[in-house]
C-alpha cells in the first residue's frame, strides 16, 4: 500500500475485554514499531520488530500487552483484560532497515469504558 495502514481507526471496548489492533506496514519495510499516545502526552514506545530478529519488547507496560508480526509484514497488538488507563491512540510505524525515517499510520483510538 501507499502508507502504513491501521485498523480499526476507532475502538470502544468494555473494561476487562480483550482487543486486537492491526498494522499493515509499507511494503518492503523490515522494521515495525508500536507506540502509544495518551492525551496531551508524547509518544511512548511499546515494541519494535526488525526482520526475523527477536522483537524488542522493552516498552510494553504490562504482561497484558503482547504483539506479533506474521511473515515479516502485518502486525497485531493485543491488549488483554483492558483497563481504563489503556485508553489512548495506538500508533504503528515502519521503516526500511537502517533508515531513520519512520512512517506512521493514522493510529487506532482505543477507548475503554
Partner 1 sequence: QKEVEQDPGPLSVPEGAIVSLNCTYSNSAFQYFMWYRQYSRKGPELLMYTYSSGNKEDGRFTAQVDKSSKYISLFIRDSQPSDSATYLCAGLRGSARQLTFGSGTQLTVLP
Nearer to partner 1, 8 or 16 (CB): 8
Compare residues 6 and 82 and give the one whose CB is closer to partner 1: 6
Of residues 14 through 73, those in contact with partner 1 by CB under 8 A are 31, 33, 35, 40-45, 48, 50, 56, 59
Question: What number of CA atoms fall less than 13 Å from residue 67's CA on the CB side?
Answer: 30
Of positions 77, 91, 110, 112, contacts partner 1 by CB under 8 A: 91
Mind spelling out the 3-state secondary structure of 58-102?
A: CCCCCCCEEEEECCCCCEEEEECCCCHHHCEEEEEEEECCCCCCC
**Which of 4, 21, 88, 112: binder of partner 1 (CB under 8 A)?**
4
Q: Residue 1 or 14: which CB sits closer to partner 1?
A: 1
Contact set with partner 1 (CB under 8 A): 4, 31, 33, 35, 40-45, 48, 50, 56, 59, 91, 93, 95, 100-107, 109
Amino acid at each position: 500500500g501507499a502508507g502504513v495502514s491501521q485498523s480499526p481507526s476507532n475502538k470502544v471496548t468494555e473494561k476487562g475485554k480483550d482487543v486486537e489492533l492491526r498494522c499493515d506496514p509499507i511494503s518492503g519495510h523490515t522494521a515495525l514499531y508500536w507506540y502509544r499516545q495518551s492525551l496531551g502526552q508524547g509518544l511512548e514506545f511499546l515494541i519494535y520488530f526488525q526482520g526475523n530478529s527477536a522483537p524488542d519488547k522493552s516498552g510494553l507496560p504490562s504482561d497484558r500487552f503482547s504483539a506479533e508480526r506474521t511473515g515479516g509484514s502485518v502486525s497485531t497488538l493485543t491488549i488483554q483484560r483492558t483497563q481504563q488507563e489503556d485508553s489512548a491512540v495506538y500508533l504503528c510505524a515502519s521503516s526500511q532497515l537502517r533508515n531513520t525515517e519512520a512512517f506512521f499510520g493514522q493510529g487506532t483510538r482505543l477507548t475503554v469504558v
